[in-house]
Structure 1
């Protein structure tokens, strides 16, 4: 996975720079995200691995399947990916592109898992507190897991804050076991 990310990084940076230059971040993000989802499909992955099919036809197939209106810049980017046999990297390219976009726009998606359902007011307060702490605009997605017993688990990117009763009991058990 790290190798794919390493290969995808220069393409994602180039796509991000082109999107910024053209002031089309949303269009590029949509096209790359949809294309990434399409190429993550196992049937499409096998099709992309077929050496008998022309690379440009593969790129055109992805764009047609995506059913997203794209600019010439996006179409050219897909042509470059096809020429370099890098269409299979689209899921990683899309993920990196969206990370760069979130950094630029100072936004973050946060997944919150709680033992009990949060009210809208509680979600707003939590989002506001996290927004202040992280100095970013927060988009909160809440879910419920009764096995947590109590508390909350907050996930965003590589950051995980486990303030659940289950997590604390697990830490206590590890401490007592060592």
Structure 2
């Protein structure tokens, strides 16, 4: 069977194109995130796996559970997913939609793991340099991980910059063992 990301891609692209056309990127993002969270519930997972419930009933129920977050476009997407028995893809569709949205908006969510807390000035400098390097508006999330010993690990999508003491020691050990 194909990977979830491969199956979810056309749905995410279609949802993204509809959102751009309607000028509702944030509303779609919110709807997909809500639906992705709902689909992760054990009760909902059992419900959508129930063969005695029609596809239409499943789509309607999911839309009702999402409440006001579920716009008309998202309801149409639910109908298509129901017809093709693809509800388990909702979490991946949401993730891929958010990647397309970030690319469109020229923004990036960056996670910085540091051995110590960073001052506001350090965060500002790091944010400015990453914005320049990535050519995007950067939203930093700082996580403290004392196991790093010192330095930072920066993750922005596929890009990972490991400038931690632990990472350097690991590279040194690998070099000595080879």
Deviation per residue, 1:6-62 (Å, 9 max, x gap):
111111111111111111111111001110111122332232222121112222222
What is the rounded CA distance, in whole Å, between the counterparts of 1:66 and 1:93 in structure 2? 16
Report deviation, 1:129.
0.7
- Specify the alignment match of 1:128 in structure 2: 128
* Stretches of structure 1 lacking an aligned partner (at least 5 in a row): none
Map residues 94-105 of structure 1 onto 2, 5 A cutoff.
94-105=94-105
The equivalent of 2:44 in structure 1 is: 44
**Is residue 8 from structure 1 mapped to residue 26 from structure 2 by the alignment?**
no
Alignment of 1:122-161 (within 5 A): 122-161=122-161
In structure 1, what is the Cα distance between the partners aligned to 2:82 and 2:167? 46
Deviates more, 1:143-152 or 1:75-84: 75-84
For residues 158-177 of structure 1, the aligned pairs below 5 Å read 158-177=158-177
The worse-fitting range, judged by mean Cα deviation, of 130-139 and 73-82 is 73-82
Aligned residue number for residue 114 of structure 1? 114
Distance 2:128 2:91 in 1: 31
Instruction: Give the CA deviation at 1:2.
Output: 6.4
Q: Counterpart in 2 of 1:25?
A: 25
Tell me which residue corresponds to 1:59.
59
TM-score of the aligned structures, taking structure 2 as reference length: 0.94
C-alpha distance in 1 between matches for 2:102 and 2:59: 26
Query: d(CA) in 1 for partners of 2:68 and 2:138?
Result: 27
Q: Distance in 1 between matches of 2:98 and 2:135?
A: 18
SS of the counterpart of 1:85?
coil
How far apart in 2 are the matches of 1:156 and 1:7?
24
**Counterpart Cα distance in 2 of 1:42 and 1:169:** 42
Pairing 1:73-84 to 2, within 5 Å after superposition: 73-84=73-84
**SS of 2:51 mapped into structure 1:** coil
Q: CA RMSD in A?
A: 1.5
My pick for the range that moved more, 23-32 or 73-82, is: 73-82
Q: 1:54 to 1:63 in 2, by over 3 A?
A: same
TM-score by length of 1: 0.94
